[in-house]
Amino acid sequence: MIFLGIETSCDETAAAIVHADDGPNAPAEILSNIVLSQTEDHAPFGGVVPEIAARAHLNSIENIVQQALSAASVTLTEIDGIAVTSGPGLAGGLIVGTMVARSIAMVHQKPIYTINHLEGHALTARLTDNTPFPYLLLLVSGGHTQILLVKGVGDYERWATTIDDALGEAFDKTAKLLGLPYPGGPEVEKAAETGNPNAYEFPRPLKGRDTLDMSFSGLKTAVRKAAQESSELSQQAISNICASFQNAVADVLENRLSRAMSKFSDIYDCPSTFVVAGGVAANTDIRRRLQTLCATNDWNWVAPPHILCTDNAAMIAWAGLERHRLQLPNIDAGIKTRWPLDQNAVSKIGSGRKGSKA
């Protein structure tokens, strides 16, 4: 089977072609994966501007789809289906992607699957490593920080979430506080390489409490105070703050995930696999710390390559292909700017949010 994937949920315009033989566990192959970043368009504003993102998607989507087809040496008549992100994300971008996908599906009489962006991240480990169900997933991105039990395609149970800032958001805000360029996550990681991770004793929010949930707003506030109290915010001071911030984040994740691993082991008597996905999963130090945690607890470790951690269309094509070969129905309810992966998840209301279930 050959699937076309389209992803336009935020500030990357992406299209990809993924191939897999029939069968529930047949390995997959990415034939093409084209991603056009809008970073330069949004950098002057220090964050993604929805109107600019929507226009950029509209101007480039047709060419990006054609590039994906050409790179894979595939025509639209040869594909078996189309998968497109329909949420969560920015409304303008989602509209562009879904309208293009629906037009192609209508003209070429192909089945279409509207995919939850988070499901794309959740299933990427099966695309890259053919990871069997069930597995424990840490989903960390600009908009989401969750620990999930992945039981099957379309079957997800959220065990924990952030009660305020998402981790990617905390990285970006930290970068902005320190005057680092946009996007902030990679800049914080780069600065931390020459910093002392023990220079600042930043808090580990919620550590020791009987919960798997996370909080990063207080950590961000501590970074602000450290920056304000520094007599001279030198490059070394910035590096020390970034390294100490990153160290605190890794400590929080280690604490929560060790508890989640124990919970998983109490439920399942099978080989245990931990998967990390999402844009923040590209952070080298966090990956190293979590990989060590898995080795210590005799867990299998799966982390997709960096290019598949950030937003891409290969994961969307794969999610559609997985659903198609299991003959799962497509429920198209239009675009959804908020769309929880676990439909039964209870909203978490914290200091920084107004109770998003996503």
Question: Residue 351 pLDDT > 50, yes or no?
Answer: no
Nearest to 142 by CA among 115, 123, 117, 125: 117
Above 90 in pLDDT, residue 153?
yes
| The pLDDT of residue 182 | 87
- Distance from first CA to last CA of the chain, Å, rounded? 31
pLDDT at residue 352 in the model? 38
Kindly state whether residue 353 falls inside one of the protein's structural domains: no
Query: Which residues, including other chains, have CB under 8 Å from residue 175's CB and lie 6 or more apart?
Result: 181, 182, 183, 184, 185, 187, 188
Distance of CA 299 to the CA centre of its chain: 22
Q: Summarize the confidence of residues 71-85 as an average pLDDT.
A: 97
- Give the DSSP H or E segment for 165: none
Q: What are the C-alpha distances in Å from 44 to residues 4, 40, 260, 279?
A: 33, 8, 40, 21
332 domain-assigned: no
Question: 279 versus 226: which is more confidently predicted?
Answer: 226
Section 296-307 average pLDDT: 94
Q: How far is CA 134 from CA 80, 161, 210, 271, in A?
A: 28, 19, 24, 9
For residues 202-220, average pLDDT = 90
State whether 172 and 285 are in the same domain. Answer: yes
The per-residue pLDDT for 349 is 58
pTM: 0.93
Burial of 41 by CB count in 10 Å (0-12 exposed, 13-18 middle, 19+ buried)?
middle
Residue type, 351: S
Give the pLDDT of residue 144: 87
User: Per the domain annotation, does 319 fall within a domain?
Assistant: yes
User: Residues near 344 by Cβ (< 8 Å), separated by ≥ 6?
Assistant: none
**Residue range 246-264, pLDDT digits in tens:** 999 999 999 999 999 999 9
Asked if residues 217 and 211 have their Cβ atoms less than 8 Å apart, the reply is no
> Is the same domain home to 218 and 107?
no
> Cβ-count burial of 149 within 10 angstroms (0-12 exposed, 13-18 middle, 19+ buried)?
buried
Q: Using the 8-state DSSP alphabet, how is residue 130 labeled? A: -
Domain count of the fold of the chain: 2
pLDDT at position 353 is 41
Q: Which residue has the tokens 């990617």?
A: 168
CATH code of the domain containing 187: 3.30.420.40
CA distance 158 to 152: 13
And the tokens for 82?
């189309």
SS3 assignment, position 251? helix
Task: Give tens-digit pLDDT for 261-273.
Answer: 999 999 999 889 9
Structural domain of residue 104, as residue ranges? 2-129+307-325
Provide the pLDDT for residue 58.
Answer: 96
pLDDT at 273: 97
Residue 120 confidence (pLDDT) = 97
**343 pLDDT exceeds 70?**
yes
Is residue 331 included in any domain, yes or no? no
Average pLDDT over residues 71-100: 97
- Please identify which residue in the block is written with the tokens 């245990």: 272
State yes or no: pLDDT of 195 exceeds 80.
yes
- Closest by CA to 20, choosing from 314, 301, 309, 273, is 314
Domain identity same for 16 and 80 = yes
CB 141 within 8 Å of CB 279: yes
Identify the band that residue 110 occupies on the pLDDT scale cut at 50, 70 and 90: very high
Same domain, yes or no: 217 and 274: yes
214 and 111 in a common domain: no
Residues 105 and 151 in one domain: no
Domain-embedded: residue 334: no
- 311 & 298 share domain: no
Report yes or no: 230 and 274 within 8 Å, Cβ to Cβ.
no
What is the per-residue pLDDT across 16-73, written as a single tens digit (0 to 9) for each? 999 998 777 778 999 999 999 998 999 888 889 999 999 999 999 999 999 999 999 9
Distance CA 13, CA 54 (A): 10
Nearest-5° Cα angle at 2, 125 to 336: 65
Looking at 73-193, list the stretches that DSSP marks H as alpha helix, in order from N- to C-terminal side: 91-108, 117-129, 167-177, 184-192
Please tell me the predicted confidence (pLDDT) of residue 47: 86
d(CA 71, CA 228): 50
Burial 19-28 (b: 16+ CB within 10 A, else e): bbeeeeeeeb
Asked whether residue 148 falls in the same domain as residue 274, the answer is yes
Mean pLDDT of 197-201: 95
